[in-house]
Structure 1
Amino acid sequence: MSRKKKPVYRLRNVILAIVLLIGLAIGREVYLALTATPGSSENFPAKVAALIEESQPPGVPPESPDAFEILSRVIPIESDMHAPYRAGPQLPNGHYPIDYTALRGPQSRKFYGAALETIQANSRKMIEDLRATEFYSLLDEAAAARRAVRPTPLSGDVIGFLLPHLGKYRNLARLNSARMYLAHQSGDESELARAFEHGLAPGRVAGHGSFLIEYLVGVAIHALMVSELREELVERPVSEQTLLKLLAVMDRQELPSMRWAIEGERLGTLDTIQWTHTDDGKGSGRLIVSKVSSLGPMLASGDNILEGAGAWRILNIAGAAFPSKAASVRRANEFYDAAQAAIALPHYQRNTASADLEAMAEAIPKRYILLRMMLPAWGKAIQSMDQIECQWQGTKVMLAIEIYRQRHGRPPASLDELVPGILPHLPKDPYTGSHFGYRILDPGTDPHGRAYLLYTAGRDGTDNGGVQAKQPYDAFRTTAGKGVDYVLNEPRLPPEPDEAPDATPDDEPTPEPPAPEGTMPPTQPTPE
């Protein structure tokens, strides 16, 4: 009698089949983890180079002089001349022997102590000694060159590009702002205008880069230079001829649009997504965890769920738990598109856009590990863009007012009198979309001798009559800016007084005056 054939689908076989399938799935995942290869279908470094070319002024031929290349020859001249100062006797408290900002103040003994005069003398001597070199003539060439192309590697990781020139550019700006100050004090208006353009040029060149940090360095440089200029115009009048030169300088050295930095950051983000994901040939792929861990210090930024992960390939199994390459690309493009849309509007039309971008970045789920690490703080960056636009346009208006005073012996009754005789059109306050705030002061009423106040409404968008906060930049902050404006023709801060010598045991301590009845004793301001 034949035995009854057992069914193949009995429980044991089903379990074995399930175990086999699980084993195959695990084996497949292990294989994929160990063999995960980054995608390389797009050459993003080449796209960055093309973007920088696209940012150049229209009509400037590629073979024309390049300001970036010229500045690369300027920087070593000044740097090499530091050697004798570094080799000299060490200054008290280890201060570096040169600091150009020490020439234009305000400075105090509290910071420099006994080294102050030495640092000032060294810095002044350096500025003069550079006249025996081609330093200033090369700066003339850089300022005149319309083309400014930062050399870009055509391979490698975009986020690995080095930008060592940025610190040098800021040093050039500090040097030239000090030159402006010295020229103004001596009445050398030709040198003042030349130094102003020499200082602005590195900012313009930095703005032609492809990354946010380059744009922000350009912002910082331009803010330093126009701030110094406005303080000088308050201190002492300048001839109409020089004022017209300064206006022309500003037309030549404008900062490029922030949109180039946004596109450059987009390319850097997309490049990083590409080399940290596999490529399935259909525009997507899986996260390569071992590649993400190679980002090193960046892993410490934000709430990173991969912090501490090593570079072992077996960890790539976890890639399946993260969003796909296509999903990350889509999210990144949505964010950068929103950033481009935000900067296309003046501040008064998008007063919530900065906050919206910050909220948009914060709302990205933690699983999008790369995006949460890489998306910059665009809200604050856009605020910086608004501030420099305000200061830049406000400085032009101030120059035009001073030209009017030279021609008529008085300030204009209203800003409308500046057009079309001096300015082709009247710049708008980006915080209101209308004229900058302007008030004529009664003669002899201003302790600094000003004939007028020129100001921006600032962050609250309200004309508060030129009332300024104790900390002027509070006007650009969301909370502190309520009820205050930012005065553009604010005088230079006076030098801080030297510290009183320490009391000796024989000295009677000086009592502090009592606070008025019903008031609290003064306290140190709390930083924001």
Structure 2
Amino acid sequence: LFLAVVVLAVWPDEELGDESAVMPEWRGLGENNPLGEFQAWLEAHPFTGEDDRLRMLRKGREWDAEAADAILREEAEVLAKFKELLAHADEEWEWREGEDLAVFGRQMPYLKPIQGAASLLAIDSVRMAERGDPAGGLLAANHVINGSGRLASARGSLIHLMVSASIEKETLSAMRRIARNHRFEKEPVRSVIEDLGNYPVPVEPLRFGFQAEYLMFKNLIQGLGTDDSKKWGNPLPGVERFAFFLQPNTTINLRRRFLEPELDAIGKGWSPLNLTFKREIEQIREVQRHFPLSVIGPNPIGESAISVVPVGQSVTGSVFDTVALHRLTGVFLALRLFEIDHGKLPAKLDELVPAYLSQLPADPYSEENALLWNPAEGILYSVGRDGIDNGGAIRIKPREANSDVGISWGGNDEALKEQE
């Protein structure tokens, strides 16, 4: 997905068109679309979503209850309006199809405020739990994620997919904090675990990113076949160079089985492509060191990219982190569910197997159980991806290079509360 977003960001400004001319088309969706109504409301209310306090739930940031209360007071009207939007989260929202929703230019201008409003509600859910209503806070955060899924259903809009994944990631951080620090009655925990298995997993951005990478590599192979080094750059017309962000090992491994037939067709082995790729990776890393100013242009799409992914990284990696947060939040909830049933937290993770872990979501890529228990090692492994549990695991423990990452458990409430 970030591949696509960076392409959007370097698209010549004149090809983006007049953003203000696009906006009425989006507002027209508001007749039968709660999101459109919220956009129209934002037009008359100066909320940018850029207040730094809105980011206090992000990794590496310090939680500040006083600052949280202050911004909740200041933006109470925005919070109330966003809750009205989410009241319709379970309904089917209507979207207009057609060229006005084209991927590469016709995007809505209110992405930052919507993301900021979602962060506001995530903060409110944590404060609700801290004031004595952890179940209410957990369910409120859960409701934000359900609502963000409607953003992802905006046909043709990759930016919406990206914002949806970002909202989900931040709100999962709130849910994880609540589950870590508070005890619950059984029903809200069971309800949220059930929803956790039904969330729209962010595989669409991932799929698009891989598709873009595949096209880029295919062009690279064609360049190798003709000794034309300029041919590798970009599968999309109208852009001089494909500025892309990749995870080198993962990408090479994932794409190899698709690309080897292409290499065979031109009589080339894997090594030339591998060497070329390594050279390009060095160029990519140089670009990342200067991100975002050298990559993102001063246009609405570029601005949106900066607001959602503020550091240079692969959005496939960001999606992996979100899936990791899904799983880790599920583990916390499974621990709390065990505590409800038995009056105490389990001494070992294998006490969660199979009754509690079997209730957690399946792996979005393989449809298998997302978590794999290894009793001999005393480690809970996620299935399928390198570093998938790096969204903040309980004592992250690497298994081996280019393999998986597991989590282990200290066995008491204090150990749970200490984890960030």
Which TM bucket (shorter chain)?
A: 0.5 to 0.7
Q: Does 1:255 align with 2:170?
A: no
Select 1:468's aligned residue among 396, 404, 411: 396
CA shift at 1:239, angstroms?
2.4
Q: Corresponding residue for 2:180? A: 234
Distance in 2, matches of 1:487 and 1:69, equals 45
Give, as a single letter, the amino acid of the residue that structure 2 aligns with 1:181: V
Give, as a single letter, the amino acid of the residue that structure 2 aligns with 1:352: N
Cα–Cα, structure 1 residues 424 and 177, in superposed 2: closer, same or farther, change >3 Å? closer
Q: Corresponding residue for 2:344? A: 410
Report how many aligned residue pairs link the two structures.
Answer: 310
Q: Corresponding residue for 1:125? A: 73
| CA contact 2:382–2:404 (8 Å) conserved in 1 | no
| CA contact 1:203–1:218 (8 Å) conserved in 2 | yes
CA shift at 1:399, angstroms?
1.3
Higher helix share: 2
Q: Corresponding residue for 2:253? A: 352
Q: How do 1:21-36 residues align onto structure 2 when only pairs under 5 Å count?
A: none
Q: Does 1:392 align with 2:338?
A: no
2:33 is paired with a residue whose SS is helix
Cα–Cα, structure 1 residues 69 and 467, in superposed 2: closer, same or farther, change >3 Å? same
Q: Corresponding residue for 2:38? A: 74
Distance in 2, matches of 1:176 and 1:485, equals 31
Q: Corresponding residue for 1:53? A: none
Distance in 1, matches of 2:122 and 2:341, equals 27
Give, as a single letter, the amino acid of the residue that structure 2 aligns with 1:435: L
Q: How do 1:361-380 residues align onto structure 2 when only pairs under 5 Å count?
A: 380=314
Distance in 2, matches of 1:105 and 1:129, equals 27
Aligned-residue CA RMSD (Å): 5.7
Give, as a single letter, the amino acid of the residue that structure 1 aligns with 2:53: D
Give, as a single letter, the amino acid of the residue that structure 2 aligns with 1:101: R
Q: Does 1:175 align with 2:120?
A: yes
CA shift at 1:128, angstroms?
3.9
Distance in 2, matches of 1:202 and 1:414, equals 32
Q: How do 1:126-525 residues align onto structure 2 when only pairs under 5 Å count?
A: 126-129=74-77, 135-141=82-88, 143-145=89-91, 147-148=92-93, 150-154=95-99, 158-209=103-154, 210-255=156-201, 257-258=203-204, 262=208, 295=238, 298-299=239-240, 301-302=242-243, 352-353=253-254, 380-412=314-346, 413-415=348-350, 417=352, 419-420=354-355, 423-424=358-359, 427=362, 435-436=371-372, 456=382, 459=386, 467-468=395-396, 485=406, 491=418
Distance in 1, matches of 2:351 and 2:357, equals 10
| CA contact 2:141–2:174 (8 Å) conserved in 1 | no
Q: Write out per-residue CA displacement over residues 163-193 of structure 1, whole angstroms, 9 at most, x where no aligned residue.
A: 4343333223211210111111111235313
Distance in 2, matches of 1:264 and 1:151, equals 27
| CA contact 2:32–2:94 (8 Å) conserved in 1 | yes
CA shift at 1:428, angstroms?
5.6
Higher-Rg structure is: 1
Cα–Cα, structure 1 residues 198 and 399, in superposed 2: closer, same or farther, change >3 Å? same
CA shift at 1:134, angstroms?
5.1
Cα–Cα, structure 1 residues 166 and 419, in superposed 2: closer, same or farther, change >3 Å? farther
CA shift at 1:487, angstroms?
7.4
Cα–Cα, structure 1 residues 455 and 82, in superposed 2: closer, same or farther, change >3 Å? farther
| CA contact 1:176–1:196 (8 Å) conserved in 2 | yes
| CA contact 2:57–2:170 (8 Å) conserved in 1 | no
Distance in 1, matches of 2:32 and 2:241, equals 33
Give, as a single letter, the amino acid of the residue that structure 1 aligns with 2:183: P
Distance in 2, matches of 1:105 and 1:435, equals 23
Q: How do 1:42-53 residues align onto structure 2 when only pairs under 5 Å count?
A: none
Distance in 2, matches of 1:251 and 1:66, equals 30
CA shift at 1:353, angstroms?
0.6
CA shift at 1:150, angstroms?
4.4
Give, as a single letter, the amino acid of the residue that structure 2 aligns with 1:123: I
Select 1:100's aligned residue among 54, 59, 74: 54
| CA contact 2:394–2:419 (8 Å) conserved in 1 | no
More RCO (CA 8 Å, sep 6+): 2
Distance in 2, matches of 1:144 and 1:68, equals 14
Distance in 2, matches of 1:421 and 1:398, equals 11
CA shift at 1:211, angstroms?
4.8
Q: Which moved more, 1:169-178 or 1:482-491?
A: 482-491
Give, as a single letter, the amino acid of the residue that structure 2 aligns with 1:299: E
Distance in 1, matches of 2:78 and 2:351, equals 44
1:254 is paired with a residue whose SS is coil
Q: Corresponding residue for 1:286? A: none
Distance in 2, matches of 1:426 and 1:81, equals 39
| CA contact 2:82–2:118 (8 Å) conserved in 1 | no
| CA contact 2:194–2:359 (8 Å) conserved in 1 | no
CA shift at 1:68, angstroms?
8.9
Aligned-residue identity in percent = 12
CA shift at 1:220, angstroms?
2.1
